[in-house]
Structure 1
Amino acid sequence: MDYLKFLSKTALNRAPSGISEMRTYLRDASPSLVYLASGVPNAEKFPFKKATFTLDDGKVIEVAPDVLATCLQYGPTPGYAPLLEQLKEMTLRVHNPPRWSTSNVIVTLGCQDGLAKAMEMILNPGDSMLVEEPCYSDTLCILSALSPNFLRVDTDEYGMCPDSLKAVLQETQRNTPDKMPKLMYLVPNASNPSGKTMNEERKRRIYSLASEYDFIILEDDPYYYLQYGDPKNIAPSFLSLDTDGRVLRFDSFSKIVSAGLRVGYVTGPSPLLDRIVWHMQASVLCPPGITQVMISELLKEWGEEGFKRHVTGLRQFYQSQRDAMLQASDTHLKGLCEWTVPDGGIFVWFKVPGVQDTETMIKKRAVKKDVMLVPGNNFMLDTKKPCQYMRAAYSNVSQEKIMGAIKNLAELIREEIALQNSLNSA
């Protein structure tokens, strides 16, 4: 593929860091080399000399002194080498990308850091991109500064609709061929906020259209391991289908290990990842070493079977939380709301047919009812337009509190409907 045509003017103007690139000479250096090229601090003066962390099963992992010294120093921009090897092995095992020989993996400061850099790499102001609506709100925050031309694609219970996608592409090609999209952004599994999950047949149809109309797919998949049901029935990822080399896949340890460690990773074509690395060289320099080591040591301790046991336990926990939310909704919200039954993730997406705009209801009156959700307009391309939807997260609340919160929500909705009726009749 010709990747240069997908790059923004900003990305085309980027250059690698000369100092960072000097490290490539170390590969062929003799042990006697005195390296005077980098302005790194003296590791002997770091105040930290020992690091251990205890797992939930009581196992204590001690970071070896040489590993600690390495991770406290500036590191390679693409990431801590042992972790990169583990991520590559995991990617091959789980996704088996058909173009692996021309692909690579880099570590980013969480999934969103990679997304922000990828979108800046591709989009000039006014460039077109395909998005499903509703769309993850923080992605819309990234895009607001890039000023793209949004091409909205309809969704149904299985996520983005291929027929709608094809119609949008055909209409754009027919009426405004200079506005054909450069990229598509989607969350294919347990989509935030709707909780919808794509099946394999739909993914294949969408990928076929990406090949036909030649655009990049940004596959944002932080809930991949939080899909409910039999793991053997999980649909292959877009990366697994990527015969062209047009998928950038974004994974994260935030939802499955720790959000505060800020360790995510991007997999995709090396020519695109190289530009993201150049951006990192000019911004963060390198991902935090200590958190990468924590993930690496944890994966080494668990092994493949231990990791599977861990994510199986997570799926069971979050599915139980989801079921508690659905039970509370059946008890208190029937006749007031419509909602999806998520196949994974941590959200339920509600529609309130009797309320014109949930933003006013939530921001002005929800706190007084001891409940808070996210108004649906945060996930819409036009955030100023009235929206009847809202998102509830069931991940970090006890099941007892879920029931009480949904009861309070029902009272809030009834009061809002009564208020609207009184205003309309006045």
Structure 2
Amino acid sequence: MDYRKFLSTRSKARVPSAIRALMPLYNKKDMISLAAGMPNPETFPYASMSVTLKSGEIITFDDDLFRRSLSYDYTSGMPQFNQWLRELQIREHAPPCKEFDLSIGSGSQDLFTKAMEMFAEPGTALLVEEPTYAGALSFLKSEPVDLVPVNTDSEGIDPEMLDRILTSWPELNPTGKKDQPRPQVLYTVPVGGNPTGVSSTLQRKKRTYEVCQKHDILIIEDDPYYYLQFKTPRTPSYFSMDVDGRVLRMDSMSKILSSGIRIGWVTGPKVLVERINLHTMSTNLQPAGVPQLMAYGLLAEWGYDGFFAHVDRVANFYRERRDVFEESLERHLKGLAEWVVPDSGMFVWIRLLGGITDSNELILQKAVKNNVLAVPGVAFMPLNDITPCVRVSYSCIEKDQIDEAVRRLATVIREEAAANSANN
């Protein structure tokens, strides 16, 4: 594929850092370096590191790797960790395109913003799901691009609408700009979508990929909830069906190991991953070494079988929370709202009934006064459209608090619906 046509002018202008480009040579045997402008590790006060797992097991990290983690290292991440993740992608996704590259970042949000900057040419349009991740929107709305929403439903993104938008462009351009180039990139959260909790079915994914092939669209697959699927086997990823090299996949350790260690990784065409690395060279230089060692040391100890057993336990944890939450929704919100039971992730997208057209004031004011927090749906709408929808999450609430939280939310919804009925 010709990837340069997708790149922004700013991304094309990025060149390797003269110093960072030497990094792979620093650790070469027999190399004597006069180039390094890095602090001498002998001055660091840290001698070793170990962690205690909840199982009681103590993992002590390799001394040489620990010393290495305290210093500057490869832009794409600690080589041993990078290779471990590369093998994980092969085992889990079996990508058809073998010549992919992988880079580690400070969380997938770090990598996502760098990827988007790579495509964000002033005046261009970008395809996004509606609704979609608020963290993505907060960045994209600061970029010089116009967002083009694509509907989603209980089976994920609507590929037929995607095809209509691209086939009929610019007639279906929501900005009304007749001379705007057709979008070239689709951003999707295909599993346990934030905010909807909905996952794209395999049939939808296959059809969406076909549409993207037809119109030569790149897919940014932002998939932090992939391993939080409640059914087995897991629904295959876009990366697993990418015969063209048009998928840039984002993964995260935030939902399965720790959100605080800020570890994410991007996998995809080498040309695109290289552009992200060039961005990193000029901003944060590399992902932090100690969190990488914490993750790699544990994963190397577990092995791949141990990792898969762990993510199965994590998915089962959230599935049990989902079940309790669903029971409370049925008990308190039936007739007041509609929702799709999520098959992955941490969220439920609730559409309020009773004549409620805008959830914003109800959630931010009335629900808060009733001591229950949720997120109004407008936060997830690409064009800031008003919506009766609300995002709720069952991830961190204790099981014995779930029913009371839903009861409090139901109370303000019922009062609002009653007031609407009286006014009409």
C-alpha spacing 1:310/1:30, structure 2 compared with 1 (3 Å) = closer
2:81 paired residue among 83, 89, 95: 83
Residue 150 of structure 1: how far off its partner (Å): 2.1
Q: Which residue of 1 aligns with 2:375?
A: 374
Residue 407 of structure 1: how far off its partner (Å): 0.5
Q: Which residue of 2 aligns with 1:356?
A: 357
Residue 147 of structure 1: how far off its partner (Å): 3.1
Q: Which residue of 2 aligns with 1:386?
A: 386
Q: Which residue of 1 aligns with 2:324?
A: 324
Residue 181 of structure 1: how far off its partner (Å): 1.0
| Structure 1 unmatched runs, 5+ | none
Residue 336 of structure 1: how far off its partner (Å): 0.7
- Equivalent position SS for 2:104: strand
Partners of 1:322 and 1:26 in 2: how far apart?
49
Post-superposition CA distance 1:132-183 (Å, at most 9, x none): 1011111101101113222221222111111111111111167857521120
Partners of 1:30 and 1:405 in 2: how far apart?
60
Partners of 1:24 and 1:229 in 2: how far apart?
42
Residue 420 of structure 1: how far off its partner (Å): 4.2
Partners of 2:386 and 2:158 in 1: how far apart?
24
Q: Which residue of 1 aligns with 2:342?
A: 342
Partners of 1:154 and 1:26 in 2: how far apart?
50
The aligned runs of 1:101-140 (5 Å cut-off) are: 101=99, 103-140=100-137
- Equivalent position SS for 1:17: coil
Partners of 1:30 and 1:197 in 2: how far apart?
48
Q: Which residue of 1 aligns with 2:175?
A: none
Partners of 1:46 and 1:178 in 2: how far apart?
54
Post-superposition CA distance 1:206-238 (Å, at most 9, x none): 1111111112100010111100112x2x22211
- Equivalent position SS for 1:361: helix
- Equivalent position SS for 2:122: coil
- Equivalent position SS for 2:116: helix
Q: TM-score, normalised by structure 1?
A: 0.95
For 2:381, give the aligned amino acid.
M
For 1:220, give the aligned amino acid.
D
* Segment drifting more, 359-368 vs 262-271: 359-368
C-alpha spacing 1:352/1:174, structure 2 compared with 1 (3 Å) = closer
The aligned runs of 1:166-245 (5 Å cut-off) are: 166-172=163-169, 176=178, 178-230=180-232, 232=233, 234-245=234-245
Post-superposition CA distance 1:306-359 (Å, at most 9, x none): 112211111111011001111001111111111110010000110112222111
Residue 363 of structure 1: how far off its partner (Å): 1.1
Q: Is the 8 A contact 2:124 2:180 kept in 1?
A: no
1:274 is the counterpart of 2:269 = no
For 1:204, give the aligned amino acid.
K
Q: Which residue of 2 aligns with 1:22?
A: 22
* Segment drifting more, 262-271 vs 163-172: 163-172
Partners of 1:107 and 1:81 in 2: how far apart?
10
| Aligned residues between the structures | 418
* Segment drifting more, 257-266 vs 362-371: 362-371
The aligned runs of 1:25-44 (5 Å cut-off) are: 25-26=25-26, 31=30, 33-44=31-42
Q: TM-score, normalised by structure 2?
A: 0.95
- Equivalent position SS for 1:217: strand
Partners of 1:251 and 1:324 in 2: how far apart?
28
Partners of 1:140 and 1:293 in 2: how far apart?
31
- Equivalent position SS for 1:349: strand
For 1:126, give the aligned amino acid.
G
Q: Which residue of 2 aligns with 1:52?
A: 50
Post-superposition CA distance 1:352-402 (Å, at most 9, x none): 12222111011112222111000000000222x321000011010111101
Q: Which residue of 2 aligns with 1:406?
A: 406
Q: Which residue of 2 aligns with 1:146?
A: 143
**Runs ≥4 in structure 1, deviation > 6 angstroms?**
none
Post-superposition CA distance 1:261-291 (Å, at most 9, x none): 0000000011111110010011111101000
* Segment drifting more, 86-95 vs 126-135: 126-135
For 2:65, give the aligned amino acid.
V
Partners of 1:24 and 1:193 in 2: how far apart?
41
Q: Which has the higher helix share?
A: 1
Post-superposition CA distance 1:96-147 (Å, at most 9, x none): 111122x111001111111100000011122111111011111101101113
Residue 25 of structure 1: how far off its partner (Å): 4.0
1:288 is the counterpart of 2:288 = yes
Give percent identity, aligned residues only. Answer: 39
1:307 is the counterpart of 2:307 = yes
C-alpha spacing 1:328/1:376, structure 2 compared with 1 (3 Å) = same
